[in-house]
Structure 1
């Protein structure tokens, strides 16, 4: 019955204009954000796309977020995450691979209380949208990074540490990279951030790719899950200054 109901909802979404579906988070910018990130393509609000957040952002420069689309069946083409009321809304776009479980964790900056979303494009051309509302005191995007007061990062830029945690299903990689991730919203501090991350196989084949934006927190800590922990992987990164970094995991 539940499967039949989901099919009816999806059919309704495809049959009617996309703006006919009300936003469960009641964000004033939902229609603008939808148009910006998924256009007029069919979509459905889907509880299987989970966005995990704290109830309140104690530190608006380091807000943990997990996007989990592993409950969706079928091939996932793309995952886009954004914060409606951030001055820079886009957080990341993720292109997963069948060997990589579509679940990712990282930390972000938020400027104020906002809806935080994830939209997942499946092979049938439908976007599945999930999200949660985050309460925050604000100011995270316009706060100078700690790196600007500490020369340490200049000699350690791109330095990475990683660890593999075995799980019942494959393994979980957690890695940290030294980078200021400046938003460009602070006077006299230009935009400087990691823009691309690639997870690669032992022979260098790209398995998954992420495109990041400045709202990702300083010294990013990113977690992702692989289906086979016995395989070797590496991480390749490039920032908007043209610097490239690579390390085996």
Structure 2
């Protein structure tokens, strides 16, 4: 390789390593069209990894179970709410979250469906009202129509069951909450009858420790089947309680 070409390659490799991003967001006409409706302004929120970042795989192993992790560095300003958006999905706003003080700095993980190659972005609202954005471009397709992982009989028998486990890391509790629910998107087919399954998903979720709110979620069709939430939080007083409601009016409450 000629010296000039080698030097150019080394510079490009060094720049990529410094950036540390293998799948940055791409220009998105879909986002340009929906920005005002989603965040209430045409102004593009800045990206700032000193406030928060979003990590997702460049190419998803399973488009119906794409992991998304949102993190903040120590000392970053508190995030009060966050909209998670998958630009190419039929219903792009996957969920809107609010976070309590105990979750700051944020380390939060959830799994989503991705229906086509798309930017996956989070728009955070800080305590002072500023909006900041982070995201990744994810290569995945078909996640919203992917068949359910269980039979309909098993779905009905286990719906609403919850599991919760806690671990400790660097003085913080790491909670992992799993809820049994098919979260049908309205785009899937029953594998026996081949009829379309109506949309049916967990719409609202509240997680507390004692009287303190840890986080809430208002969701759409893009949160995965059997949703799992992993979150770091400052230890508090009292049990962790979960309140979930789905689009059919079913309600589940559990204390751990």
Does TM, normalized by the shorter one, top 0.5? yes
Q: Call closer, same or farther: CA 1:54–1:240 in 2, change over 3 Å.
A: same
SS in 1 for 2:29: coil
Deviation per residue, 1:54-99 (Å, 9 max, x gap): 1211111111111224557334221111111111211111110111
Q: 118-127 or 36-45, which moves further after superposition?
A: 36-45
* Cα offset, 1:202, TM superposition: 2.3
* Cα offset, 1:235, TM superposition: 1.3
- Alignment pair present for 1:194 and 2:202: yes
Count of residue pairs the alignment pairs up: 224
Give me the whole-angstrom Cα distance separating, in 1, the residues matched to 2:25 and 2:227.
30
Give me the whole-angstrom Cα distance separating, in 2, the residues matched to 1:107 and 1:132.
14
Q: Call closer, same or farther: CA 1:121–1:176 in 2, change over 3 Å.
A: same
CA contact (8 A) 2:25 2:119 kept: no
- Alignment pair present for 1:216 and 2:223: yes
- Alignment pair present for 1:236 and 2:239: no
The aligned residue for residue 39 of structure 2 is 38
The aligned residue for residue 158 of structure 2 is 156
SS in 1 for 2:232: strand
Q: Call closer, same or farther: CA 1:189–1:24 in 2, change over 3 Å.
A: closer
- Alignment pair present for 1:76 and 2:76: no
The aligned residue for residue 99 of structure 2 is 96
Give me the whole-angstrom Cα distance separating, in 1, the residues matched to 2:238 and 2:54.
28
Q: Call closer, same or farther: CA 1:38–1:69 in 2, change over 3 Å.
A: farther
SS in 2 for 1:29: helix
TM score, norm. by length of structure 2: 0.80
The aligned residue for residue 171 of structure 1 is 173
CA contact (8 A) 1:70 1:103 kept: no
Q: Call closer, same or farther: CA 1:24–1:52 in 2, change over 3 Å.
A: closer
Give me the whole-angstrom Cα distance separating, in 2, the residues matched to 1:230 and 1:171.
12
Give me the whole-angstrom Cα distance separating, in 2, the residues matched to 1:156 and 1:56.
31
Deviation per residue, 1:118-158 (Å, 9 max, x gap): 0111122211000010112x1110123223x3411211110
- Alignment pair present for 1:105 and 2:109: yes
CA contact (8 A) 2:201 2:221 kept: yes
CA RMSD of aligned residues (A): 2.1
The aligned residue for residue 131 of structure 2 is 127
Q: Identify unmatched segments of 5+ residues in structure 2.
A: 1-23, 189-194
TM score, norm. by length of structure 1: 0.82
Larger radius of gyration: 2
Deviation per residue, 1:140-180 (Å, 9 max, x gap): 10123223x34112111100111001111311110111100
The aligned residue for residue 4 of structure 1 is none
Give me the whole-angstrom Cα distance separating, in 2, the residues matched to 1:168 and 1:230.
18
